[in-house]
Structure 1
Amino acid sequence: MAFPSQGYTLGDTATEADEARSTWAAVAHAVLEFEPVTMVVDPGELEIARRYLSADIEIVQTPLDDAWMRDIGPTFVYDDDGLAGVDWTFNGWGAQEWATWDLDAKVASYVLQQADVPRIASSIVNEGGGFHVDGEGTVLVTETVQLDPGRNPDATKAQIEAELARTLGATHAVWLPRGLTRDSQRFGTRGHVDIVAAIPSPGVLLLHDQRDPAHPDHAVMQEIESALEGTTDAAGRSWDIRKVPAPATLEDEEGPVDYSYLNHLVVNGGVIACSFDDAHDEEAAAILGDAYPGRKVVSVDARPLFARGGGIHCITQQQPTAP
């Protein structure tokens, strides 16, 4: 994980900064129940971070622009030769005018050095929240991310797929047309898949389900479901689609929300799930529990995260042990 240190993530007031730091810390301590946590902290924030984080959380230091480790950190991969990490090119979610990324673009390499893991450099602009894999060759991507003119303006699907095969070993890409509505607006990622769909096990697809026609994502998810018709995973299996309800909450002060229970983190023996003090929290947690049998579902209030543009999956990046 990375500790929020500056910019829009901290907000404009001391209260907003405390909310951000407290929520990042709550997620870290939820994960700590199951496995070790390392937190990357900007050197200027070290004393503040220590006030929020348990002594059981390892702290390492490097300069940061922001705190979305899923996107700025490496994607860990492994094969018979051992563990490695993919260092994607990062440019602030498509060179967005509000973002800075000179420091964050170096974080993946730093993390790999700290972990003493070989680095696999990638020339494509990509983020960890922009794809999902099943570990058996399948990768979910969205046309609005990997083919974004602000990310990879000259790339074709074939070129993106070749790079995903080289770096991830993912030989079968399933392209979704877009992401959710709020995520497609000014402060969004332009379509990250990790609030739309997830693959909890090969052949199974968890899918965001906006049930209310009054929300624009109701139509978006119909479009995405249509795009999935006839697709399979790398093994040729038709998807066992399990719909996870969107929260009943439809709006905040900025407009339609993109709250999603799909943005969860799988840990050793558990699942760290988003909650929203919402009527659908329990139903969603039960579906996640069924999708990950034998794992304890622990929920953390993710509203402060989504108000800043992401969720639990977005601020974490799992590091497996070597096979």
Structure 2
Amino acid sequence: MSLDIKMPAEWEPHAFCFMAWAVHREWGADVANVKQELREVISTVAEYEPVRLLVPPDLIDEARHQNFGSNVEIIPAPVDDIWMRDILPTFALRDGAPIAIDWNFNGWGSSPLRLARPGDRLAGLLASTLGIPTVAASFIAEAGSMVTDGRGTVVTTKSCLLSPNRNPSFGRTDRQRMDAIEQNLLHFGVRRTIWLEGDATEAITNGHADGYVLFTNPGKLLVEGIDPTEQRPNRCRESDVNLLHTVVDEQNRPLHVKTILPPRQRYLRFTQRTFAPCYLNGYVANGAVITGRFGDSERDQAAERSLQQAFPTREIRMLRLDHIAAGGGGVHCLTKEMPKPAPN
């Protein structure tokens, strides 16, 4: 593998965005509500950049009847889930040309809450369809487990990448496993890996970094803090926020960290374990940041102000996504950008 691979920051220009119209039957009685919310996300992303919508053959007619418009291209594909952030490869650039990084996705460790399925192994197939090379990592991960500044710094979590259902054989100790993963990340242009504790109790993902950390510029990030009204605060989150205030990026610069607060429990529509009301799990599209709002008007507005300050040249679009969030994800989880190739 070449060391000139670059994983761009998400605010860098996109050629298009992959999404999927494939709401699995596991959603049960909420299928219609999830589709309604998904349609709004797809339509909103398409206002700012082309969307290539992956659709299983039996749902092609249904997808066409959504009347998404000319900026949404419907593509038949053997996809059976909507979480494109993790199921698809990460699209990066090598010598300015796109490649696909295969993180060996295994269904988030194939946990009892979400067993691995045939439609999870799309990295090689999609890369082949696009006619771009695939580069495989030597460890198991998901793109949502890592956030990058596009300049060689990655933030990830121990709770996810060191979980026994992903990478049990990289060494006897956490440090050995971390060192092995860091060495492999060097092949993808990562020179500094910042390890947060994460949240091993988080349903399905075991604590993805993209649920509470968002780079907004090199050296600058937003992090979701702890609600001061919580009776039992998340001590791992408190530790992670404190750590981010003390570490440096690949350029040896201290990180500029701004904290936002989550929506308060009393305003949330759902309370199940998988519900993920995350402001920072948003998609940085060409010209917009698209994320969720959750009915806590004070916190929703505060998050909007923080995002607008961080991305002053982009519109902030906040959508009501309660049913999608009940499945454990947000707008970022639904999307996967293709970076624009570098000019010759």
TM-score w.r.t. the length of structure 2 is 0.86
**Distance of aligned partners of 1:256 and 1:212 in 2 relative to their CA distance in 1, 3 Å threshold:** farther
Gaps of 5+ in 2: 1-18, 171-176
1:84–1:119 contact (8 Å) kept in structure 2: yes
The equivalent residue for 2:137 is 122
Deviations 1:22-43 (A, max 9, x none): 1111111111111000111111
CA distance in 2, matches of 1:296, 1:316: 18
Give the drift of 1:81: 4.4
Indicate conservation of the 8 Å contact 1:212/1:218, yes or no.
no
> 2:236 corresponds to which residue?
220
Correspondence 1:177 to 2:197 = yes
Tell me the amino acid that sits aligned with residue 189 of structure 1: T
Task: State the shift of 1:7 in Å.
Answer: 3.3
- Among 64, 82, 88, the residue aligned to 2:97: 82
Report the secondary structure of 2:291's partner residue: strand
Shift of 1:219: 3.1
Report SS of the residue matched to 1:84.
strand
- Alignment match, 1:309: 328
Preserved contact between residue 20 and residue 54 of structure 2 (Cα < 8 Å): yes
- Kept in 2, the 8 Å contact 1:210–1:246? The answer is yes
Structure 1 residue runs of 5 or longer lacking an equivalent are: none
Matched residues in 2 for 1:3 and 1:94: separation? 23
Instruction: Give 2:304's aligned amino acid.
Output: A
Residue of structure 2 in register with 1:190 after alignment: 206
Letter in 2 for 1:64: V
Moved more, 96-105 or 291-300: 96-105
Alignment of structure 1 residues 36-47 onto 2, 5 Å:
36-47=50-61
CA RMSD of aligned residues (A): 1.9
The residue correspondences of 1:182-261 to structure 2 (distance < 5 A) are 184-185=201-202, 187-214=203-230, 216-249=232-265, 252-254=270-272, 258-261=276-279
The alignment partner of 1:97 has SS state of coil
Q: Residues 223-271 of structure 1, C-alpha deviation per residue, up to 9 Å, x if partnerless?
A: 2123334211110111111112211235534269541111011111111
Which one of 115, 127, 149 corresponds to residue 134 of structure 1?
149
Matched position secondary structure for 2:137: strand
1:50 alignment partner in structure 2: 64
What is the match of residue 3 of structure 2?
Answer: none
For 1:298 and 1:151, how far apart are their aligned partners in 2? 34
Residue identity (%)? 29
* CA shift for structure 1 position 120: 1.1
Instruction: Give the secondary structure class of the aligned counterpart of 1:39.
Output: strand
Q: After alignment, is 132-141 or 299-308 more displaced?
A: 299-308
Q: Deviations over 1:157-202 (max 9, x none)?
A: 1111112221x311100000113xxx824x4310100112111111
The answer to whether 1:73 aligns with 2:88 is yes
Q: Report if the CA contact (8 A) 2:56-2:78 is conserved.
A: yes
Q: Which residue of 2 aligns with 1:12?
A: 28
- Structure with the greater relative contact order (CA < 8 A, sep ≥ 6): 1 or 2? 2
* Cα 1:105–1:202 shift into 2, 3 Å: same
Please say if residues 275 and 328 of structure 2, whose CA atoms lie closer than 8 Å, have aligned partners that are also in contact: no
Question: Are the counterparts in 1 of residues 308 and 315 from structure 2 also a CA contact under 8 Å?
Answer: yes
Q: Indicate yes or no: 2:293 matched with 1:275.
A: yes
What letter corresponds to residue 315 of structure 2 in structure 1?
K
Quick check: 72-81 or 128-137, which moved more?
A: 72-81
